[in-house]
Amino acid sequence: MLESPLSVISKFPNLSRKMPIPVCRLDTKSGFAVMAIHIELFPCCRRRRAVESGFMRKASLISIGNELLSGQTVNSNAAHLSAELLSAGVPVVSTYVVEDQIDAIVRAFELAGADADVVIATGGLGPTDDDLTRQAMAEFLGVELELRDELLKKVESFFISRDRPMPAKNKIQACIPAGAKALANIGTAPGIGAESQGKWFFALPGVPSEMKRMFAESVLPELRRLASGQAVVVKKLKCFGAGESTIAEMLGTMMQRGRNPLINCTVSAGVITLHVIATAKDEQTAGQRVQRDETTLRGILGELVFGSAEQSLAQVVGEKLAQQNKTIAVAESCTGGLLAKMLTDVPGSSEYFRCGWITYSNQAKTSELGVPAELIAEYGAVSEQVAESMARGAGTRADTDFAIGITGIAGPTGGSEQKPVGLVYISVSSKRENQSRRFIFSHDRSTIRRRAAQTAINMLRLKLNV
């Protein structure tokens, strides 16, 4: 009777995780069950065929450090790597956050290696006693740490260039697992790259600036080399004005898993980014697939799509204002200058941005923008009428083509049953007409203010499209 692989494994309790798993197969000639050592079922390499074909399909991230678990440090590295890998056509399928303990890090490498073809760990490459990533990686790979003279010279040179003696503890940073590749760093800690049974494992510094540079210069080129023979083309479409679920419903089957191109969706501060990821044997074919989907997506979503790649709403609006030779002024209450900041964060914004007012009090609305006191008394400071009057006042005083007025309740206090926290009125005024809208935004004060400012910019974008 043919035994299952698991029943066979149970008879070999001394098998380590680094040994191939015995697998039973049926010999068609003799009719007997034959035990074979099937390398493709190595515990951390179950997608070896995908790797050998040249296309790295999945990635897993490991973030190392007690400070991440305690909440003292925000895990921005994982967010950055996830976005970069997705853009490279390598979606992240799992992330692990572990403490500064060798056993925990080794276990994370095992789990991540079972999930994906590429594993990237960040943190734990410093010189202190709690920096244990290199030791854990060596144990996971089943090798010893070795001191590399060329790395030691680089670490020593780092301190010499700063006219400082090298502390003895920094010598550990010149040690990496035997057989592994050292990745260049602008700091003292080199990164580590190693291949194990057809999968790639990387250890990068936890310092964000060092991690980002090392990933861009050392890891991405390696991924592209491993993906040779199959082209991956990625296009990002930026959307605003509808929620993630609404857009998903509009796209229907286009977001089904297993589709080529694959369409993924990410959300950040109200902006929906659609990642169109096409794979093919050559870049031209993959690019054509992306182009077809982009045309279809734009047709379905219409004006919800405001840009592509890394464009922001403010950048797109700024380009339209400059192209049409138009100018803008703003009058803000609840957003406290955030709208003006977003617009002027764009290089060259002085070409179209004239000035702005932060009129937080009722008195300032009247004295600075000419909002009638009786209008505020009748409708309240948070009202469509006041938002419109603020916009018209700003436009008249600055003599601009467009002006925006925002008034609302950002919270967490100040709301009522009639006017709850999150209520915002936005008015976009031109010399010909005025458009005012009522919104209720949710979440905390910061989110409400940001969404209000973004929505105001989007309203201006739509008006510029006419």
pLDDT at 392: 97
pLDDT digits (tens, 9 = 90+) for 293-338: 999 999 999 999 999 999 999 999 999 999 999 999 999 999 999 9
52 and 36 share a domain? no
63 and 31 share a domain? no
The residue type at 464: L
28 and 123 share a domain? no
Mean predicted lDDT score pLDDT of the chain: 87
257 and 272 share a domain? yes
Q: d(Cα 457, Cα 343) in Å, to the nearest integer? A: 8
124 and 265 share a domain? no
CATH number at residue 386: 3.90.950.20
CA torsion 143-145-149-150 (nearest 10°) is 70
Residue 227: pLDDT band (50, 70, 90) is low
Q: Is the pTM of this model over 0.85?
A: no
**Of the residues 196, 226, 256, the one at which a domain ends:** 226
Residue 3 per-residue DSSP state: P
62 and 189 share a domain? yes
On whether the CB atoms of residues 7 and 33 are closer than 8 A, the answer is: no
The total domain count for the chain is: 4
What residue numbers bound the domain in which 184 lies?
48-226
The top-scoring range by mean pLDDT among 30-44, 47-61, 83-97, 336-350 is: 336-350
pLDDT digits (tens, 9 = 90+) for 178-209: 999 999 888 778 899 999 988 999 999 999 99
205 and 70 share a domain? yes
* More confident of the two residues 54 and 416: 416
361-383 burial string, b = 16+ CB within 10 Å, else e?
ebeebbebbebeeebbeeeebbb
The residue type at 20: P
Phi, psi angles (nearest 5°) of residue 229: 100, -15
CATH number at residue 165: 3.40.980.10
Angle at 377 between CA 372 and CA 380, to 5 degrees: 100
Alpha-carbon distances, residue 288 vs 55, 280, 282 (angstroms): 19, 10, 10
86 and 214 share a domain? yes
pLDDT at 52: 38
Q: d(Cα 332, Cα 408) in Å, to the nearest integer? A: 9
**The two structure tokens encoding residue 379:** 């409708």
393 and 448 share a domain? yes
Q: What is the largest CA-CA distance in the chain?
A: 99
84 and 54 share a domain? yes
pLDDT digits (tens, 9 = 90+) for 341-366: 999 999 999 999 999 999 999 999 99
58 and 122 share a domain? yes
CATH number at residue 274: 3.30.70.2860
* More confident of the two residues 126 and 356: 356
**Of the residues 287, 308, 329, the one at which a domain ends:** 308
pLDDT digits (tens, 9 = 90+) for 267-282: 888 899 999 999 888 8
104 and 167 share a domain? yes
pLDDT digits (tens, 9 = 90+) for 6-47: 343 343 333 343 333 333 333 333 333 333 333 232 333 333
Where are the extended beta strands (E) located within 116-213?
118-122, 145-147, 175-177, 181-183, 191-196, 199-204
**Of the residues 308, 336, 368, the one at which a domain ends:** 308
